[in-house]
Amino acid sequence: MRARRQRWITAAVVIAALAQAGTAHALVPPLRSNPDAMPTDVRRQFTDGKKAYDAQEFARAAKGFAAALHRVPDTPVNRSVRAFLVVDAMVAYQEAFEVGEDIEMLRAGMEVYYGYFKSYRDVHGSTNIPQVVVEQRFAMKETLARAESRAKGNGPTTTTTTTTSTGTTTGTTAADPQPVAADDDRGRKPRERNRDRSGPADGGTDRSKALIVSGAVNLALGVGLSSLIAVGAINGKRAREDQKNPGFTPEQRERIDQQGRTANALFISGLVLTPLFIAAGATLLGKGVSDRRKAQLSLAPSVTPRFAGVVLRGRF
C-alpha cells in the first residue's frame, strides 16, 4: 500500500510539472501560419522566427515573420500564406509591446500591416483583404490608441463614430481566410465590415485574469508540493531504520531499499519543484495584479450586420 501511494505521488509530481509548462505556454497566442505551405527558403526564415516566438523573444520573432512575408510573392496562390504571416507578425509585435511597453512595437506592427495592405490592393485591385487580418488590425489599432493616449497623459478617448460596410465577402475554405473590405486608414475612416466588438477591447482583460489565475494555481501547487519534502524525509528515515533491523530477509531488505530510493526522489523533487512553483506563481500573480490596476474604461463603437451603437468597455 505504501509503495502504491508513493507511485501516485510521483505521478502527481510529473503531472504538475507538465501542467506548469502548459500554463506558461497558454498565455502566448498561437501562431496561425502553416510552414508546410511556404517555399523552402521562407519556411526556414519562419522557423527561425517561431523559435524566437516560443522563447518569448517577440521583437525578434516579429521581424523574422515580417521578413518572411516580404519573401512571399503577392499572388492568388499565396493569399492565405501572406495573410497568416502578416497576422503572426502583428501578434508578435503586440506581444513585444505587452512585455516591454514599447509603443514603437505597435507602430512597427501597423507599418507591416500598411505594407501588406498596399501590396494587396495594388496586385489584386481590391481592398477585400482576409478577415483575420482586419481583426488583428483592429486589436492593434485600439491598443496603439490607448498607448498613445497614456503617453500623452490623457484619459481614455471617447468616440461615437459609426463604421459602415462597403465590401462584399466571397466564399472561402477553412484554409482560406475570409476577405473583408478594408482601407489603408492612416488619417481616414475604415471601410471594412466590422466584427462584433462588444467584448473586451483587447487581450488585456483576458491576459490579466489568466495571469492571476495561473499565479494562484502555481502557488497552490507549490504549497502542495512542499508536502513531498516531509513525506520523503519521513519515509527515507523509516527506510534507513528498517535497514538496521537484522530481522528482515534479503528480499525484504531489497524492498526497503527501493522504498528508500523512492523517498529520496520525493524529497529531492519537493526541494526542486516547490520553490519553482511558488516563485512562478508569485511572479504571475504580481504581473496580473499590476495589469489589473492599469484598467481603463472607454466607449467604443460596435458595428455588426445586426447592431450599430456604442459599447462601454474596460480592462480589469
Q: What confidence tens digit (pLDDT) does each residue in 147-161 have? A: 998 888 754 443 333
Q: For residues 181 and 188, is the Cβ–Cβ distance under 8 A? A: no
Higher-scoring residue by pLDDT: 287, 40: 40
Of 149, 179, 195, the residue that ends a domain is 195
* pLDDT, position 3: 55
pLDDT score at 170: 36
Q: Using one digit for the tens of pLDDT, what is the confidence trace for 100-119?
A: 889 999 999 999 999 999 99
Does residue 121 or residue 180 have the better pLDDT? Answer: 121
pLDDT of residue 121: 94
Query: What contacts 120, CB < 8 A, 6 or more positions away?
Result: 74, 82, 126, 127, 129
Among residues 132, 118, 43, 36, which one has the least CA distance to residue 84? 132
Share above pLDDT 70 across residues of the chain, in percent, rounded to a whole number: 66
Q: Are 189 and 182 in contact (CB under 8 A)?
A: no
> Could you read off the pLDDT of 181-214 as tens digits, one per residue?
555 555 444 444 443 333 343 445 567 777 788 8
Query: What does the pLDDT average to over 290-301?
Result: 55
Mean pLDDT of the chain: 74
Within 8 A by CB and 6+ apart from 209, the residues are: 288, 316
Provide CB contacts within 8 A for 158, sequence distance 6+.
298, 299
**What integer is the mean pLDDT of 43-67?**
93
Closest-CA residue to 296 (of 152, 119, 136, 155): 155
Does position 24 have pLDDT exceeding 50, yes or no?
Answer: no
Give yes or no for a contact between 68 and 42, defined as CB atoms under 8 angstroms apart.
Answer: yes
Contact 174, 129 (CB under 8 A): no
Per-residue pLDDT, 286 = 83
Give the N- to C-terminal CA distance of the chain in Å, as an integer. 48
Task: State the CB neighbour count (10 A cutoff) for residue 16.
Answer: 18
The answer to whether residues 88 and 12 belong to one domain is no
Are residues 139 and 5 part of one domain?
no
Residue 51: which domain range? 31-195
Q: Whole-angstrom Cα distance, residue 46 to residue 68?
A: 6
- Domain end call among 141, 175, 195: 195
Assess contact for 262 and 6: CB atoms under 8 A: yes
> Both 97 and 240 in a single domain?
no
Higher pLDDT, 289 or 138: 138
Domain count, the chain: 2
Q: How confident is the model at residue 40 (pLDDT cuts 50, 70, 90)?
A: confident
Do 247 and 150 lie in one domain? The reply is no
What's the rounded mean pLDDT across residues 243-262? Answer: 79
H helix runs in the chain, sequence order? 2-26, 40-54, 58-71, 79-100, 103-124, 131-151, 204-243, 250-293
Whether the CA torsion 93, 99, 100, 103 is positive or negative: it is positive
Please report which confidence band the pLDDT of residue 21 belongs to, taking 50, 70 and 90 as the band edges: very low
Please tell me whether residues 232 and 136 are part of one structural domain.
no
* 233 and 313, same domain (yes or no): yes
Please give the DSSP secondary-structure letter assigned to residue 20. H
Distance CA 28, CA 260 (A): 41
- Note whether 121 and 10 are same-domain residues: no
The domain boundary, picked from 178, 195, 212, lies at 195
Q: What is the mean pLDDT of residues 233-255?
A: 79
pLDDT above 50 for 288 = yes
Q: Which residue has the higher pLDDT, 302 or 252?
A: 252
Q: Are residues 190 and 234 in the same domain?
A: no
83 and 127 together in one domain: yes
Same domain membership, residue 240 and residue 183: no
pLDDT of residue 123: 92
Do 45 and 186 fall within a single domain?
yes
- Looking at the fold, whether 38 and 186 belong to one and the same domain comes out as yes
